[in-house]
Amino acid sequence: ILSGAKLTAPLGCLVSRQKHTLPDLPYDYGALEPHINAEIMQLHHSKHHATYVNNLNVTEEKYKEALAKGDVTAQVSLQPALKFNGGGHINHTIFWTNLSPNGGGEPKGELMEAIKRDFGSFANFKEKLTAVSVGVQGSGWGWLGYNKEQGRLQIAACANQDPLQGTTGLIPLLGIDVWEHAYYLQYKNVRPDYLKAIWNVINWENVSSRYSTSKK
């Protein structure tokens, strides 16, 4: 019996890990219209997010080979691709659930209380997150995150696809994608118009649920 028990661990390690896959959207591509049109959603999900997933899987395979060979140089050289594609996958997976055709309005309950406590009012919070997102230079994200150590909400901007938690330690609650591919086909270069519109489809139930989980 003992010898069998000892075998399970190494055999378990040999089983190949499941590859990352593109998550299904919880609504149709056209469900967020007129605020975000179907063409943008289709390209954003089926092309852009899919590319991050594919490249993440390729990078992880290469990283696994480098680990097996003990090739530290190769491991280090793969870090930027892991961060970019891994971050792209993490960020978009959160983003799709942060949006809903039944979204908009204001949050309720403990999330609303926390927003008032940490930002003074919902209007103040909305203004701050919008300003931070408008101000991202080039490509990136605006975030509402939870600082577990300090027990408070915080707004942050991340460049490119840098994942919020992996780069700042904040737990992501609400992400706003300000890469041009998220809005250009509809709003051209006018990012503030896109940001004004996106508040109409924010899924506060999802954000509230993330907040409750993050405090545990």
Q: What is the per-residue pLDDT across 138-182, written as a single tens digit (0 to 9) for each?
A: 999 999 999 999 999 999 999 999 999 999 999 999 999 999 999
**What's the CATH code, domain 35-215?**
3.55.40.20
What residues form the annotated binding site for Mn(2+)? 44, 92, 177, 181
Q: Give me the residue spans of the domains in the chain.
A: 35-215
Q: What is the per-residue pLDDT across 18-46, written as a single tens digit (0 to 9) for each?
A: 899 999 999 999 999 999 999 999 999 99
What residues form the annotated binding site? 44, 92, 177, 181
Q: Encoding tokens for residue 174?
A: 């609400």
